[in-house]
Amino acid sequence: MSSVPDRSEIDEDYTWDLESIYASDEDWEAAYDAVAERVDELAGYEGQVTDDAETLLEVLELRNDIMREVSTVAAYARMRRDEDTTNQQYQALTARAQSLGSDAQSAASFIEPELQELTREEFDEMVASESTLETYEHYVDDVLRMKPHTRSSEVEELLADLGEVMGGTGEVYTMLSNADMEFPTVDAPADDEEDAIEITQSNFTNLLKRPDRDFRQRVYEGYFDEWSDMRNTVAAAYKNSVKADVKTAQARNYDTAREAALDGPNVPVSVYDTLVETVHDNLDKLHHHADLKRQALEVDDLQMWDLYMPLTGDEGPDVEYDQATEYIVDALEPLGEEYQSRVAEGLESQWVDVYENQGKQSGAYSGGTYDTQPFILMNYQDDISSMYTLAHELGHSMHSELTKEEQPYVYSGYEIFVAEVASTVNEALLTNHLLDTVEDPEFKKHVLNEFLERVRSTLYRQTLFAEFEHKAHELEEEGEPLTADRLDELYGDLKEQYYEPAVVDDRIAREWMRIPHFYRAFYVYQYSTGISAALAIVDGILPDGPGSDPERDAAEDYLEFLRQGSRDYPLELLRVAGVDMSTSEPIDRALATYGDRLDELEALLE
């Protein structure tokens, strides 16, 4: 039987260096106590925020200092927990850090309502007398923009206090899916060295790429049957997560939860609708992709356990971690030597927690804070897909690095809408590099297949997810109960539209249960817009790209976009990089590229 190693068995060189944040848990406790004491300092400014320019500057800088410290305390606790989600000690630290964050938000909740008592002209007068306030011009503009949706200081404090409770369903889901659920062990393929293979959250998709079709079916059915046993529990968690979104939006005077979610980053709902409409107009390409899979597998019906099989018909070449890092660093050459060398240095400095271990948080993410190095969680599986995921997360990390070097803390974050651009630019550059430099034709086929799967799973699949959560929230807003049966029906109908040539069974209708991003509502559509913008940017960066312009340094424009952090609204930031996401043009271009690459691989296979 194959088994997932214990964390103690992982070579330290392939783990992240959390000791660079706090040398010990005792140091974390000291930092926690210190910032917890500082939270109360904010209370002294209530009612005085706009008294004069000096007071306004003091309270904004105190709030920023506290939030910086809280974010570091919380990041350490969360990442320690994610090393082993069954560890009760770090579950407790994470819960304490979340409570501290909620307390800090609550303590600061009076600031923005008081700021909104100012007019823009009054703020400009304060800037004239205290020039340091000029730094906060965009921040104040954003706060004033949100005045119709900001409540009294008492209500804002209550909403902040309830933040931890309102987000509790996501925490329940995380613990259920990563710590408590035990997926079955299935008989291995006949030619496998193992007798049986343990299904995990991390290896499930990878197992569905195995060439033995009967094995894939066993994995698929075993995995989803385990979810079926939790069906009512997960439905209750998701129902209450949606309800919390709707109630919060109503409390802030929005008509819908979607409007509330998109208004935060100042993205019009028309962008969301344009994405869905454009993808629906191009479903024929996805249907063609699915039919090519059926032909490649030489089967009468394409089943859901066949969807992850590559068009090349086998598992694909192994790509060990060290080889993947070499490919990635080389692929980033078009972004300049400084960017490239910083990625190489980070990979040698324990930015990445590389391999899966017992209890580890599934998936991948880029973490860290304004005051730490980047940290990347991976569950690397020695394949092309994992290599692309590493490139993706490095894009996030470098975005954070370049932003915090150029921007003050108030603009050091960035909206997810633009964050997914940085990650997918790295993926697109990797694709072009591998197709240009790797001589093995079989390897090239797999690279093309990976590109197609990335577009399928990012642009198409995430748009399907976006439709699902939009419709689920609409049902809640219309008063229709979100039962497990209704959610299955809703998801199954969408799956049938998107994968028309395939057999949509009852198990795949429950796939909504395994998507953790649904507990962060209206998040996933940004993966789709992100890959569209990224492909347009890369078209301009590459010398022979269809969007290249000899009069423009597209790479420098892109790096300038990364350096801006959140100093402007997302759509304006992307215009710095040469992309207009208020139109369908970048989405159409991305889907046209998908269609061209699909034809290219089809020709190679013939």
Give which of 525, 506, 507 is closest to 517, Cα–Cα: 525
When pLDDT is averaged across residues 54-81 and rounded to a whole number, the result is 97
When pLDDT is averaged across residues 576-594 and rounded to a whole number, the result is 92
Residue range 112-131, pLDDT digits in tens: 989 999 999 999 999 999 99
Predicted local confidence at residue 539, as pLDDT: 87
Confidence band, pLDDT 50/70/90 cuts, at residue 161: confident
User: What is the spatial distance between Cα 471 and Cα 465, in angstroms, rounded to a whole number?
Assistant: 10
User: What is the spatial distance between Cα 508 and Cα 244, in angstroms, rounded to a whole number?
Assistant: 26
Give which of 10, 136, 13 is closest to 63, Cα–Cα: 136
Predicted local confidence at residue 1, as pLDDT: 42
- Give the helix, strand, coil percentages of the chain, each rounded to 5: 70, 5, 30
Residue range 407-461, pLDDT digits in tens: 999 999 988 899 889 998 999 999 999 999 998 888 999 999 989 988 999 999 9
Residue range 464-505, pLDDT digits in tens: 999 999 999 999 999 999 999 999 999 999 999 999 999 999
Give which of 544, 543, 529, 539 is closest to 580, Cα–Cα: 529
Q: Which two tokens stand for residue 223?
A: 């995995």
b or e along 387-414 (b: 16 or more beta carbons within 10 Å of the residue's beta carbon)?
A: bbbbbbbbbbbbbbbbbbeebebbbbbb
Q: Which two tokens stand for residue 433?
A: 């590099």
Predicted local confidence at residue 314, as pLDDT: 67
What pTM value is reported for the model? Answer: 0.83
Where helices occur in 348-415 by DSSP H, the ranges are 384-406
Can you name the residues that pair with 187 across neighbouring β-strands? Answer: 196
Model confidence at 259: pLDDT above 90: yes
- What strands, in cross-sheet order, belong to the sheet with 375-377? 352-353, 375-377, 365-367
Terminal C-alpha separation, the chain = 38
Mean pLDDT of the chain, nearest integer = 93
When pLDDT is averaged across residues 285-305 and rounded to a whole number, the result is 95
Task: Of 75-84, 154-163, 303-312, 584-593, give the lowest mean pLDDT range.
Answer: 154-163
Give which of 198, 182, 202 is closest to 362, Cα–Cα: 202
Predicted local confidence at residue 141, as pLDDT: 96
Domains in the chain with CATH codes: 7-166 (1.20.140.70)
Active site (catalytic) residues: 393
When pLDDT is averaged across residues 557-575 and rounded to a whole number, the result is 97
Q: Which two tokens stand for residue 138?
A: 């965009």
Predicted local confidence at residue 194, as pLDDT: 81
Predicted local confidence at residue 82, as pLDDT: 97
Predicted local confidence at residue 550, as pLDDT: 73
Predicted local confidence at residue 163, as pLDDT: 73
Q: Which two tokens stand for residue 509?
A: 């209708």
Token match 């040469």: residue? 578
Predicted local confidence at residue 592, as pLDDT: 87
Predicted local confidence at residue 420, as pLDDT: 86
SS3 state at 601: helix
Model confidence at 162: pLDDT above 80: no
Predicted local confidence at residue 315, as pLDDT: 67
Model confidence at 569: pLDDT above 50: yes
User: What is the spatial distance between Cα 474 and Cα 211, in angstroms, rounded to a whole number?
Assistant: 41
When pLDDT is averaged across residues 575-587 and rounded to a whole number, the result is 94
Residue range 538-552, pLDDT digits in tens: 988 988 766 667 768
Q: CB burial class (10 A; 0-12, 13-18, 19+) of residue 344?
A: middle
Can you name the residues that pair with 196 across neighbouring β-strands? Answer: 187
H/E run at residue 376: strand 375-377
User: What is the spatial distance between Cα 282 and Cα 509, in angstroms, rounded to a whole number?
Assistant: 23
Give which of 401, 364, 406 is closest to 381, Cα–Cα: 364
- Position 496, amino acid: E
What is 511-570 written as a DSSP string? GGGG-GGGGSTT-THHHHHHHHHHHHHHHHHSTTSTT--TTS-HHHHHHHHHHTTTSS-H
Task: Of 66-80, 87-101, 152-166, 571-585, give the lowest mean pLDDT range.
Answer: 152-166
Model confidence at 281: pLDDT above 90: yes
Angle value at C-alpha 173, between 167 and 176, nearest 5 degrees: 145
Model confidence at 2: pLDDT above 70: no
Q: In the chain, pLDDT over 90 holds for what percent of residues?
A: 81
Angle value at C-alpha 369, between 366 and 370, nearest 5 degrees: 130
